[in-house]
Amino acid sequence: MTAKGDYLTTVGVEVHVELATAAKMFCPCPNSPQDLPPNRAACPVCLGLPGALPVINREAVRLALRAALALHCRINEVIWFERKNYIYPDLVKGYQISQYVRPLGEWGWLAIAGDDGREKRVAIRRLHMEEDTCKLVHAGGAARIDVNRSGVPLMEIVTEPVLSSGREAEEYARKLRAILVYNGISRCRLQRGEMRAEANVSIAPRGSGELGIRTEIKNQAGFNHMRSAIEYEERRQAGILDGGGVPRQETRGWDDVNQRTFVQRSKEDAHDYRYFPEPDLPPARLAPDWVEAERAKLPVSYDDYLGELRGLGLGEADIEALTRNDALGFLRLAGEGGASKTVLLAKRLVKDVFSLVNSTGRPLDESKLEPLPFRRAVELLEEGKLNGEGFRKVLETLFNAGGEAEAAARAGDLIIERDDDALEKAIAKVLSEVQPLVAEYRTGKKAVRNAIFGRVMRELKKKGDPRLVGELLDRALE
Ligand SMILES: [Zn+2]
């Protein structure tokens, strides 16, 4: 039996990502495939009816361009679309509009920590745009078609076969997802299929200088599944090679229950998709000054931003919570222009906003909270215009209903009373009501002070600044 170490693993990853646009790729139908009842987002264009003419969605191109720039791709100035023809039930049009000859971006890279512990730049061969297909819904012994997803803007990102293990492939996919979310390109919700990764895996005897025959592993539910599937394939293919056999070129799925891959279809030759230039769309030119303007609009890179946060002294536990909640892009927008405030905002996000995420089960990007109102709410707390309780109430309002911080604070009657006169009046009123307590206090029972303080705060409907109220009360008692 040959040891596994005698083989070299080579992995390439292809990722499909739905772009976070308002409309579909070539028609004005809403891009919200799962928020509408089935078959409500449809028109002659995305149904491919004869005579319907597609129009390129500029916002989709802009988001794909932003992704290509964030991934250091070379941008092709003139791009065009091709028709990819094939027959499958999820393709009501009979063809998919995609990019083949001239993708939007080529030869980019993304840095991960390689298996040897050093930085590894994973080469990205191409990044192109295309449209998503319909969704097949299997239920009750029947397959139904939902066209809401047909024509949703999709981006495909393909690496060179340069990854060496399931671990590297998993790290690449996680990092890619983080960068796309951070830059507002896609929400990449895996459970909604907004990001789908496939891996090509082959092994070859170490030192042979050749790539083995590759297996394609389809539609991973999660990146950890992709890793498990790659590691299983390493063992399975090694077993075949050890026995003197040759692995077949085929597409396999991952069975997570039994922790193994299984054959989905064998791949004889490359499919003949009969690509030809999309006759309804002329080539498009990406004006260099538009490309440069988009490049200038990119925020500090994901890696550099993480470095900045560490440089500001933010702890690893907070950073881990921020990345786990996909909140780095949100934090960057909230903290723009004020480095020192960033740490304060980060801590409030982790402590107060994520507790709302946990208690509601609603992720930050599905809440109504926006970065700038969040920042303003934290400022109101810092300025003493909100106390801790008021701050949490304002956050809850912004999280559930959106809006501006000050308006929410006023609507909830939460702005703290800092008017000394009003506070002194409230104190005088309470003291006149609790004369027995005041008498006790003056005979030396200092403990009753807390009870009196509580009455004053209730009188102020908890809108008093506790420190200020305490000072004024002590003065009145003396
Ligand atoms: Zn449509």
Mean pLDDT by 10 residues, the chain (478 residues): 69 96 96 88 93 95 98 97 91 93 97 96 98 92 93 97 96 96 94 93 88 84 91 93 89 90 74 88 95 96 95 94 94 84 93 95 93 94 89 96 93 80 85 88 86 88 80 86
Question: 46 C-alpha vs ligand 1 centroid, how far in Å?
Answer: 4
Q: Residue 439's pLDDT is what?
A: 87
Q: Give the per-residue pLDDT at 71.
A: 98
Distance 45 CA to ligand 1 centre (A): 5
CA of 84 to the centre of ligand 1 (A): 19
CA of 103 to the centre of ligand 1 (A): 23
pLDDT at 445: 86
For ligand 1, the distance from its centroid to the CA atom of residue 346, given in whole angstroms, is 40
Dist. CA 40 → ligand 1 center (Å): 10
159 CA distance to ligand 1 middle (Å): 31
* Residue-level pLDDT at 2: 43
Please report the pLDDT score of residue 393 as a whole number.
Answer: 95
- Expressed in angstroms and rounded, the spacing between residue 29 Cα and the centre of ligand 1 is 4
What spacing in Å lies between the alpha carbon of 18 and ligand 1's midpoint?
A: 16
Taking the centre of ligand 1 as the mean of its atom positions, its distance from the CA of residue 158, in whole angstroms, is 27
Ligand 1: distance of its center to the CA of 34 in Å?
15
The rounded Å distance from CA 33 to ligand 1 centre is 11
Cα–ligand 1 centroid distance for 368 (angstroms): 27
- Whether the CB-CB separation of 152 and 31 falls below 8 Å is answered with yes
